[in-house]
Structure 1
Amino acid sequence: MRNRFGVIFLTVLIDLIGFGIVIPLLPFYALSFGAKSYQIGLLVSSFSFMQFIFNPIWGRISDKIGRRPVILISVFGSFVSYLIFAFANSLFVLFLSRMLAGLMGANIATAQAYIADITPPEERAKGMGIVGAGFGIGFVVGPFIGGILSKFGYNVPILFASGLSLLNFILAYKFLPEPKGHKYGVYRSNYVDSVFEIARDKILLFLYFTFFVITFGISINYVVFPLFTKDMFDFDASHNGLLFGYIGMIGVLTQGYLVGKLTKKFKEEKILVAGTFFMGLGLLGMVFSVHFSQFLIFATFFTFGSGITTPSVLSLISRQARAEIQGVTLGFGQSLSSLARVFGPSTGGFFYGNFGHKSPFILGAMAMSLSFLLAIGIYNRKNSKSR
């Protein structure tokens, strides 16, 4: 099982390194085609919007035909999307490439379903944490590689990302087997029946809403975090790069190591409650920090909280679902997460520009307070059900 863990981790890691390479370059590349600021915003959102639509669809397809073919198709599609992106000759083609990337990048739920297939319920959060660690490393390494290669032209790092996706496809094709725990094709009902089955599960809907609020609270700060440190501590791009690197490494350590240790001692419901508390505390602490040392402590609280929260809620969603519909169930979770990432950054930017540089963090803390209450509700519901 360790070998399969390693391969699926590597698949997610290479995929996210490619994504991390492209994202910081995207606004500059779009500007070279004469894009206006609102068009750049739409370009960024188009990726998440396509993921919002296709995450549950890919998940459902993987339930029917298997995890391996869906992962292979999506990774190869990412390779093609990066090629189109690198050789785009107009803003229209740029949009097409990012929409294709979003469509093909809607495979995270399938990777999570793969983890669910090969892990017992008590180790599910640890498995989800390993996928999350791949995210964290990708977002740290990707922008670093992109920054170095961009000196040779904007399309050079994008071609490198395309090459990574091709390498990813070759490795997955050779080393990623279909999980033995997944009996695809057994569940014969159609996609609509699956949706209605999910919609009737009140605890699952509660978990979905909690996941949406958590992701929204996190993504509010994506855009404004560098602006906030610039206004508060006079940080430049290099300072923020180091700060993001630190935050990324805390996230990797938390999801890749600490989650596994914590789930051996505590239930995921308790970890979810603790995680949302630390996230809210971190956001409020950052707002009222006077010195950078204080800010760094609370940023660590926030990162630790988000690192234990996301794998826990994903594990609870997976454990709530029947084995035959893991893909579509986790797909809807990732779809809501993508929707939160569509609205979160634009909301944060609007609040920052209109209500002051502390307002997005306060809004995020309010979202985390709601998440904390929802997590307590999930804990009480699960406990009352088990009695």
Structure 2
Amino acid sequence: MPGSSDEPLPVSAESRAILFLTVFIHLLGFGIIIPLLPYYAETYGATGFTVGLLTTSFSFSQFVFAPVWGRLGDRIGRRPILIGSLLLTGVSYIVYAAATSLTLLFVSRMLAGVAGAVLSTAQAYVADTTRPEDRTKGMGLIGAAFGMGFIFGPAIGGALSRWGYAVPAYASAALALAAAAFAFVRLPESLPPGARAGILASRRSRTLREALARPVVGVVLGLFFVATLCFSGMETILALFCQRFYGWGPHEIGYLFAYVGVVAASMQIGIVGALARRFGERALVRAGLALMGAAFVVAGIVPPLALFLAVMGAIAVASGLTTPSLSGLISIATPADEQGGILGVYQSLGSLARATGPFLAGFVFDVVGPGAPLWMAGIVLWIAALAAARLPRRSASLTARSTS
């Protein structure tokens, strides 16, 4: 029956479009804030290390709380968690805008991390409402909303910053609160009370640790952690790398990130779902990790500018293949009564990787050399591509394992 653990709840295309718009509005606000954070923090005397700690405080808070929200969503439904996360995100941006010290900036970023259940809850919503064979396509829509937020957000933030750093923060708060109101009015619940009762009564998921002990889930979580660790490290040192070797400034870097975002979002909106149905998620993960590894190695040897731009496009394509495929795999491999909890762990591991990757990349950049974080990450990604061979070939095999 609808909402059971066996059949996804049927929802309209309009509902999925509303979910997409909700996530996009949220991430648009996030994209407005993040590029300006170092400059805002510097006005209160922050050093580079302090800016790194601000980033880590957000990611660590998200790492701790994402599984909590996921398990709560399994009990009370996805909609209240999504709306509550958006409301708390809006509050965090207001604190950010009104900050008069570094301490308040830290408070605002930690609040935002605590509220960081939007993505994992949206992924659980997709899992509730799609069949396994369509799961990767659904996850691709969430990834596309993420990418589009980072395409348009930084440009809007840069334009608003001419009136001070508080104005972009208030704009982000307005967007988060608008997304919450939009979801409250238009977004239906994906997990009806009957399905929640089944989750609470389930004996298959006595503890989250038992679910994580499943071999397929463990492999997917490991691959996601490695891919996110390498990608976040690249993002951190990319501006310094391009400044040193190509003489680029902030505007060129902004255009580069927009270019990468457009390519990755295009992959996730229109291509990855069809490829997953044709070749299977395992093939896409292996191809994406191998391509990303090769691109990182080539970028690390400082190629001519034209080749470097082509390599960045390849990284975007690889990200567009890997990210939704891993999200789809983790969802397919997880029983319906554990979706929220496992997807929360999935996102919290991503937060841990985003807290660790920048520090590792910065250390290697300073100690070994500017290109070393890229080619070293490329080698790690190749190893991950080999490890992905442990995944089943088709999602049907994953579904069978998850229900056994």
The interval holding the TM-score normalised by the smaller chain is over 0.9
Partner Cα separation in structure 2 for residue 95 and residue 160 of structure 1: 19
Q: 2:199 aligns with which of 187, 197, 221?
A: 187
Evaluate the alpha carbon distance shift between residue 129 and residue 146 of structure 1 in structure 2; reply closer, same or farther with a 3 A threshold: same
Offset at 1:383? Answer: 9.5
Partner Cα separation in structure 1 for residue 392 and residue 185 of structure 2: 42
Q: 1:24 aligns with which of 35, 44, 49?
A: 35
Partner Cα separation in structure 2 for residue 89 and residue 248 of structure 1: 33
Offset at 1:96? Answer: 0.9
Evaluate the alpha carbon distance shift between residue 95 and residue 147 of structure 1 in structure 2; reply closer, same or farther with a 3 A threshold: same
Evaluate the alpha carbon distance shift between residue 271 and residue 181 of structure 1 in structure 2; reply closer, same or farther with a 3 A threshold: farther
1:323-374 Cα deviation digits (max 9, x unpaired): 0110001111111111000000111111111111110001210221121012
Residue in 2 that maps onto 1:139: 150
Partner Cα separation in structure 2 for residue 28 and residue 189 of structure 1: 50
RMSD: 2.0
Residue in 2 that maps onto 1:204: 217
Q: 1:93 aligns with which of 92, 104, 109?
A: 104
Q: Across the two proteins, how many residue pairs are aligned to each other?
A: 387
TM-score, length-normalised on structure 1? 0.95
Offset at 1:89? Answer: 1.7
Contact 2:282 2:394 in 1 (8 A): no
Contact 2:299 2:375 in 1 (8 A): no
Q: Does 1:70 align with 2:67?
A: no
Evaluate the alpha carbon distance shift between residue 57 and residue 304 of structure 1 in structure 2; reply closer, same or farther with a 3 A threshold: same
Amino acid at match of 1:146: G
SS of the aligned residue for 1:28 comes to helix
1:199-257 Cα deviation digits (max 9, x unpaired): 33111111111111111111111111111112222112222222111111001101111
Contact 1:78 1:162 in 2 (8 A): yes
Residue in 1 that maps onto 2:16: 5
Partner Cα separation in structure 2 for residue 28 and residue 204 of structure 1: 40
Q: Does 1:308 align with 2:311?
A: no
Q: Does 1:43 align with 2:67?
A: no
1:75-113 Cα deviation digits (max 9, x unpaired): 011111111111112211111111001111233111100
Partner Cα separation in structure 1 for residue 13 and residue 55 of structure 2: 35
Q: Does 1:34 align with 2:53?
A: no
Matches within 5 A, 1:142-221: 142-179=153-190, 183-188=195-200, 193-221=206-234
Residue in 2 that maps onto 1:278: 291
SS of the aligned residue for 2:189 comes to coil
Amino acid at match of 1:16: L
Partner Cα separation in structure 2 for residue 219 and residue 131 of structure 1: 19
Evaluate the alpha carbon distance shift between residue 189 and residue 350 of structure 1 in structure 2; reply closer, same or farther with a 3 A threshold: farther
Offset at 1:186? Answer: 1.9
Instruction: Point out the more displaced range, 190-199 or 283-292.
Output: 190-199
Partner Cα separation in structure 2 for residue 220 and residue 205 of structure 1: 23
Q: Does 1:365 align with 2:378?
A: yes
Matches within 5 A, 1:321-360: 321-360=334-373
Contact 1:217 1:363 in 2 (8 A): no
Partner Cα separation in structure 2 for residue 190 and residue 26 of structure 1: 44
Instruction: Point out the more displaced range, 374-383 or 159-168.
Output: 374-383
Partner Cα separation in structure 1 for residue 283 and residue 198 of structure 2: 34
Partner Cα separation in structure 1 for residue 117 and residue 56 of structure 2: 14
Q: 1:121 aligns with which of 132, 147, 167?
A: 132
Evaluate the alpha carbon distance shift between residue 16 and residue 41 of structure 1 in structure 2; reply closer, same or farther with a 3 A threshold: same
Q: Which 5+ residue runs of structure 1 have no aligned equivalent?
A: none
Residue in 1 that maps onto 2:272: 259
Contact 1:223 1:345 in 2 (8 A): yes
Partner Cα separation in structure 1 for residue 81 and residue 282 of structure 2: 31
Q: Does 1:320 align with 2:333?
A: yes
Q: 1:223 aligns with which of 232, 236, 250?
A: 236
Offset at 1:382? Answer: 8.0
Instruction: Point out the more displaced range, 229-238 or 56-65.
Output: 229-238
Amino acid at match of 2:94: L
SS of the aligned residue for 2:70 comes to helix
Evaluate the alpha carbon distance shift between residue 13 and residue 41 of structure 1 in structure 2; reply closer, same or farther with a 3 A threshold: same
Residue in 1 that maps onto 2:65: 54
Amino acid at match of 1:326: Q
Q: Does 1:249 align with 2:262?
A: yes
Offset at 1:20? Answer: 0.8
Offset at 1:289? Answer: 4.7
Partner Cα separation in structure 1 for residue 291 and residue 241 of structure 2: 20
Residue in 1 that maps onto 2:121: 110
Offset at 1:264? Answer: 2.5
Contact 2:23 2:118 in 1 (8 A): no
Residue in 2 that maps onto 1:293: 306
Q: Which 5+ residue runs of structure 2 have no aligned equivalent?
A: 1-11
Offset at 1:189? Answer: 6.0
